Amino acid sequence: MKKKNLAESYARIHAISLGEAFKQALFEKIEDEYDLTVAQEAYDEYVNDGRKSRPISELWKELDL
């Protein structure tokens, strides 16, 4: 299936214009990349602060579970 036909079919299935379909796809992509960047920054901060993870069993003990 050609890309144009695929995009038109997608828009038709969702009862939106082709322009709206592209707009939604663009903003989903932007949100995904933003989320990945924020997650990577948070992980880098976690690692750079020297934090270490612990086994879940330690948390359960701490919470008396």
Does residue 10 contact residue 21 with C-beta atoms inside 8 Å? yes
- What pLDDT does residue 1 have? 78
Q: Identify which has the larger pLDDT, 53 or 37.
A: 37
CA gap 42, 12 in Å, rounded? 39
Q: How confident is the model at residue 51 (pLDDT cuts 50, 70, 90)?
A: confident
Task: Give the three-class secondary structure for 34.
Answer: helix
pLDDT category at 43 given cuts 50, 70, 90 is very high
pLDDT of residue 38: 98
Record the pTM.
0.65
- Give the C-alpha separation, 41 to 34, whole Å: 11
* pLDDT score at 52: 84
